[in-house]
Amino acid sequence: MKKTFVIILSAVLAITFSCSKNTEGNPGIIKQENESAEKLPKDSLGNVEKDIKNTTNEFTDRYVADDGSSALVTFKTTDNEKSISIRSNNKTISAKQKKQTSEGIIYGNYDFEILSKTDTIKITQGDNVIILKKARVQ
């Protein structure tokens, strides 16, 4: 009977002391949560990313060629550069701004040149010239 009593008492004491809950938590984690660096976004390596503000303006208009086909023209302006992209028939050409003249803005990339005026765009590639006019809003 003594053996049974000692075994039951030791089991109850072991369960009681092993299940004590620490309500203080992990002070290292709580300290990290309060630091300001933890609130900043991190990249995949855990490095804190700097808050870089790039101003980007982008707008898209529909333009129509003389043969009736349409194209979506997107003008994009960032802090560093200006660019244009023209999408028609699931094909896209894009170019960065070369220079700005009194006629308009000239974009160029590889073997084509794009001249953008207020309501027209002239695409020149070799001897081929395509003129796009801004579509009327209906």
**What are the tens digits of pLDDT across the range 8-22?**
878 777 777 666 566
- Percentage of the chain lying above the pLDDT 70 cut: 72
pLDDT value of residue 33 = 44
Residue 38 has pLDDT above 60, yes or no: no
79-87 average pLDDT score: 90
Distance, CA of 96 to CA of 124 (rounded, Å) = 15
pLDDT value of residue 3 = 82
pLDDT value of residue 103 = 87
Q: Which residues contact 108 (CB under 8 A, 6 or more apart)?
A: 95, 96, 98, 114
Residue 71 has pLDDT above 90, yes or no: yes
User: Is the torsion defined by CA of 8, 9, 14, 19 positive or negative?
Assistant: positive
Residue 90 has pLDDT above 70, yes or no: yes
Residue 138 has pLDDT above 60, yes or no: no
